[in-house]
Structure 1
Amino acid sequence: MARGGSPRASEVLAERIRAAAKAQGSSRLVVLIDGHSGAGKTTLATELAYTLKAQHVALDAFYPGWGGLEVGSAMVRGVLDPDNPGYRRWDWKRNQPAEFHKVNGKRDIVIEGSGSLSRANRDLATFALWIRLDQVERKRRAIARDGATYHEHWDRWAAQEQAFFARERPDTLADAIMDGRTGQVVFRADLPPTS
Structure 2
Amino acid sequence: MPGTPDIPDGLPDRLGALAPSLGPVRLVAVDGHAGSGKTTFAARVAAALGGAPVVHLDGLATHEEPFGWVGRLRSQVLAPLAAGRAAEYQVYDWTLRRFATSRRIPAAPVVLLEGVGAGRRAVRPALAALVWMELDAAAARRRGELRDGPELAEFWAGWARAERAHFAADPSRPYAGLRVDGVTGRIVRGTVGDPAHGP
TM-score (norm 2): 0.80
When residues 107 and 99 of structure 1 are mapped into structure 2, their CA distance, relative to the original with a 3 A threshold, is farther
**How much is the aligned-residue C-alpha RMSD, in angstroms?**
2.6
Q: Give the one of 8, 16, 19 matched to 1:21.
A: 19
Whether the 8 Å contact between 2:131 and 2:180 is mirrored in structure 1 is: yes
Give the corresponding residue for 1:143.
Answer: 145
Letter in 2 for 1:12: G
SS at match of 2:117: coil
In 1, distance between residues paired with 2:30 and 2:73?
Answer: 12
When residues 87 and 137 of structure 1 are mapped into structure 2, their CA distance, relative to the original with a 3 A threshold, is same
Give the corresponding residue for 1:76.
Answer: 73
When residues 166 and 25 of structure 1 are mapped into structure 2, their CA distance, relative to the original with a 3 A threshold, is closer
In the TM superposition, what whole-angstrom CA distance separates every residue of 1:146-189 from its partner, at most 9, and x where no partner exists?
A: 11233111121112111221222201221101111221213336
In 2, distance between residues paired with 1:155 and 1:120?
Answer: 26
SS at match of 1:172: helix
In 2, distance between residues paired with 1:101 and 1:86?
Answer: 5
In 2, distance between residues paired with 1:117 and 1:166?
Answer: 14
Q: How many residues align?
A: 184
SS at match of 2:79: coil
Q: Give the one of 182, 185, 192 matched to 2:184.
A: 182
Give the corresponding residue for 2:121.
Answer: 119
- How much does 1:124 deviate? 0.9
Letter in 2 for 1:13: L
1:133 lines up with 2:130 in the alignment: no
Greater helix proportion: 1
Whether the 8 Å contact between 1:55 and 1:108 is mirrored in structure 2 is: yes
1:31 lines up with 2:35 in the alignment: no
Q: Percent identity?
A: 31
- How much does 1:25 deviate? 10
Q: List structure 1 runs of 4+ shifted beyond 6 angstroms.
A: none
SS at match of 2:102: strand
Q: Choose 158-167 or 132-141, whichever is displaced more.
A: 132-141
Whether the 8 Å contact between 2:24 and 2:107 is mirrored in structure 1 is: no
Give the corresponding residue for 1:3.
Answer: none
Give the corresponding residue for 1:4.
Answer: none
Whether the 8 Å contact between 1:10 and 1:48 is mirrored in structure 2 is: no
In 2, distance between residues paired with 1:93 and 1:27?
Answer: 35
Unaligned runs of at least 5 residues, structure 1: 1-7
In 1, distance between residues paired with 2:129 and 2:186?
Answer: 17
